[in-house]
């Protein structure tokens, strides 16, 4: 007797997962036997899928990202223009201007601002730099006729900082794991429908449901081969709801080097730190969003660690070099990862505040 086969739905990427349920729903609603006998299962299935589809569409890239990129490009161009203008007048034959250019060139060298550097670091460096231009070195800037450029650079930097903070607030407001829960609800409703169809086949015979079952099994076979890369089988255990994985969490966080026994949550910068727990592995999303270890300061600025800082990366343990260019002080810490091909980050927060020294 032919029944609907099983499929590991939780392993499907988000796009394929949504398309699988869309196709199944359309077939079920278009089959007279299934739609009439399984109406009370189709209604919650459709509702769960609609919610998943809504969440899926709203879990894409934050629109502020494009605005930040544009604002960052503007401030980079203004900074380069200021730097190049000062450099061009360094050594000019007009003594007053040459002296002003010499002073400002030294300031530029002292700050060593990298326009391609990490966003938050560049923002802080440029804020201090433009404050110096406006206050300590206003006369030198005016002597070179660069006051307007310096003012525009300050405005562009503040605009970038505002947009970064706005994006962080929007990301913070998103409910972590919403898409994962929506997928699980759709899968549960689907499995209820499958169980009902298989039960009807056993009770009433397969004639009325043969077309639907055959088409569904053909779809399942294709997904197993082309999406999951499996050897095709009809394992009935795939119909069962998967066990819930262990909750991702950080159970231990400690410095591996230069630890202070009296202050266990005091972390030396540029030294190795260790995370232990469950579900910690850093996995990038299929769309290229980076998994990250993130420090968050008192004004909620996010400071991700570079890829090169990661020394060990497993589900149970991560070792990394603590950021060296963050200021001393207290920070919150979190992991942002995209397990199982998800597009929405799983955020794992360390519950206590750490101190950088």
The count of residues in the chain is: 357
Identify the CA nearest to 123 among candidates 94, 158, 96, 99.
Answer: 158
Using the predicted structure, report yes or no on whether residue 327 has a pLDDT greater than 80.
yes
Using the predicted structure, report yes or no on whether residue 181 has a pLDDT greater than 90.
no
Helix axes 119-134 and 147-173, enclosed angle (nearest 10): 150
Q: Mean pLDDT across the stretch 43-68? A: 79
Residue 54: strand, helix, or coil = helix
C-alpha–C-alpha distance, residues 204 and 123, integer Å? 69
pLDDT in tens, 3-49: 999 998 988 888 889 999 999 999 999 999 999 999 999 999 999 99
Which residue ranges form the domains of the chain, and what is each CATH number? Answer: 9-59+177-239 (no CATH), 64-171 (no CATH), 246-356 (2.70.50.70)
Q: Mean pLDDT across the stretch 231-249? A: 59
Kindly indicate the confidence band of residue 85, based on its pLDDT and cuts at 50, 70 and 90. very high
- Contact criterion met (CB below 8 Å) for 188 and 48: yes
pLDDT in tens, 259-308: 888 889 999 999 999 999 988 999 988 777 889 999 998 767 889 999 88
Using the predicted structure, report yes or no on whether residue 252 has a pLDDT greater than 50.
yes
Kindly state the percentage of the chain with pLDDT values over 90: 62
Q: Give me the pLDDT at residue 82, please.
A: 96
Kindly indicate the confidence band of residue 237, based on its pLDDT and cuts at 50, 70 and 90. very low
C-alpha–C-alpha distance, residues 52 and 186, integer Å? 7
């Amino acid at each position: 007797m032919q029944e609907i086969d099983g499929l590991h739905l939780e392993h499907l990427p988000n796009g394929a997962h949504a398309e699988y349920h869309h196709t199944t729903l359309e077939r079920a609603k278009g089959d007279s036997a299934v739609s009439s006998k399984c109406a009370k299962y189709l209604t919650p299935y459709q509702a769960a899928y609609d919610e998943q589809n809504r969440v899926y569409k709203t879990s894409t890239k934050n629109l502020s990202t494009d605005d930040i990129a544009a604002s960052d490009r503007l401030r980079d161009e203004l900074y380069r223009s200021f730097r190049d203008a000062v450099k061009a007048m360094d050594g000019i034959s007009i003594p007053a201007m040459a002296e002003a250019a010499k002073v400002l060139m030294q300031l530029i060298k002292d700050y060593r601002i990298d326009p391609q550097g990490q966003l938050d670091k560049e923002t802080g460096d440029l804020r201090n730099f433009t404050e110096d231009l406006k206050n300590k070195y206003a006369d030198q800037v005016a002597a070179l006729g660069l006051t307007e450029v310096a003012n525009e650079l300050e405005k562009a930097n503040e605009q970038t900082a505002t947009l970064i903070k706005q994006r962080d607030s929007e990301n913070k407001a998103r409910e972590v794991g919403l898409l994962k829960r929506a997928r699980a609800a759709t899968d549960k409703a689907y499995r209820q429908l499958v169980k009902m169809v298989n039960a009807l086949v056993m009770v009433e015979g397969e004639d009325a449901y043969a077309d639907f079952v055959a088409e569904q099994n053909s779809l399942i076979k294709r997904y197993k081969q082309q999406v999951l890369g499996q050897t095709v089988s009809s394992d009935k255990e795939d119909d069962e709801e998967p066990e819930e994985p262990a909750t991702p969490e950080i159970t231990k966080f400690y410095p591996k080097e230069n630890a202070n026994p009296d202050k266990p949550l005091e972390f030396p910068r540029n030294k190795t730190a260790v995370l232990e727990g469950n579900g910690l592995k850093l996995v990038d999303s299929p769309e290229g969003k980076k998994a990250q270890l993130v420090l968050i300061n008192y004004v909620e600025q996010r400071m991700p660690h570079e890829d090169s800082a990661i020394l060990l990366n497993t589900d149970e343990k991560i070792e990394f070099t603590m950021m060296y260019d963050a200021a001393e002080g207290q920070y919150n810490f979190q992991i942002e990862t995209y397990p199982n091909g998800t597009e929405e980050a799983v955020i794992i927060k360390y519950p206590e505040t750490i101190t950088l020294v």
